[in-house]
Chain A
Amino acid sequence: MFPKSFKATVGQRLAVWGALLGLVALLLAAADVVSSIRLTQFSRDLVAYAGAGDALAQADSAYQRLNASLLSDSGPPAEKADIEVVERSVADIAMRLHGSVHARAQEAVDLLGELSRQVGSDHIGARESLKRLAAKRNELRIALNEGMTEVSGRLALHVDNAWQNKLLLSLLGMFLVILVITLEYRWLVRPITGMARALGSVERDRAWIGKLAIRRDEIGMLARALLAHLRGEQAQQEAAKQRLEVLSHEVERRDRLQLQGQAFQQRIASIATVLEQHAARMSGASGELARFSGSVDERAAAAAGSTQRASTHVDDVSRSLIDISRLLTTTAGEAQGTTEVATAAKVLVEEATADTVVLCEAVGAISEIIKIIGTVANQTNLLALNATIEAARAGESGRGFAVVAAEVKQLANRSAEATDQVRSGLDSINVAAQRITMRVGALVTSVNQVERAADSIADLARKQDASSRSISESTSKTAGDVRLVADQVEQVAGMVEDWRRTAETVTHASADLGRQAAELRQAVDGFMSETQRMRA
Chain B
Amino acid sequence: MTMPISPSGDGLVMRSTAHRAGPRSFPFLAKLLHWMTAVLVLVLFCSGVLMKQIGDGPMADTLYALHKTTGAGLFGLVLFRMAYRVLARLTGHWREGGGDRAVHGVLYAALIIVPMLGWAGVSDFGARELALGLTLPAIWPEGAGYSEQLLKSHAWLVFALMGLVVLHIGIALGDYVQRGAGRHSRAAAKMPQRESSSPSFPNMP
Contact = CB atoms under 8 A, between A and B. Distances in A.
Contacts of A169: 49, 159
B166 A231 contact: no
A35 B46 CA distance: 15
A213 interface: yes
Interface residues of B, number: 46
A327 to B, nearest CB: 117
B72 interface: no
Contacts of B180: 213-216, 220
A224 B204 CA distance: 11
B173 interface: yes
A168 B53 CA distance: 12
Interface string B150-172: 00100110010011001101101
Contacts of A6: 176
A186 B4 CA distance: 24
A13 B173 contact: yes
Contacts of A431: none
Contacts of B159: 168-169, 171-172
Contacts of A358: none
A280 interface: no
B205 interface: yes
Given A171-B159, A214-B201, A31 B53 contact: yes
Label chain B's interface by main secondary structure. Answer: helix
A34 B166 contact: no
Interface stretch (A153-161, A441-449, A528-536): A153-161
A214 B42 contact: no
A103 interface: no
Interface stretch (A175-183, A392-400, A417-425): A175-183
A38 B51 CA distance: 12
Nearest to B178: A215
Contact of A27 (B46, B56, B174): B46
B64 interface: no
Interface residues of A, number: 47
Contact of A176 (B46, B166, B196): B166
Given A1-B31, A16-B169, A16-B173, A7 B55 contact: no
Contacts, number: 112
A16 B168 CA distance: 13
Contact of B3 (A1, A16, A172, A219): A1
Interface in A137-172: 154, 157-158, 161-162, 164-165, 168-169, 171-172
B54 A34 contact: yes
B52 A161 contact: yes
B104 interface: no
Contact of B55 (A2, A161, A213): A161
Interface in A226-249: 227-228, 231
B26 interface: yes
B6 interface: no
Nearest to B3: A1
A485 to B, nearest CB: 93
B50 to A, nearest CB: 6
A210 interface: yes
B155 A1 contact: no
Nearest to A31: B53
Contacts of A27: 45-46, 49-50
Interface in B182-204: 183, 189, 195-197, 199, 201, 203-204
| CB-CB nearest 7 A-B residue pairs | A214-B180, A168-B159, A31-B53, A34-B53, A8-B176, A8-B177, A210-B197
Given A27-B46, A172-B163, 11 more contacts: A1-B2, A1-B172, A27-B50, A30-B53, A31-B50, A154-B56, A175-B166, A216-B204, A220-B180, A228-B199, A231-B199
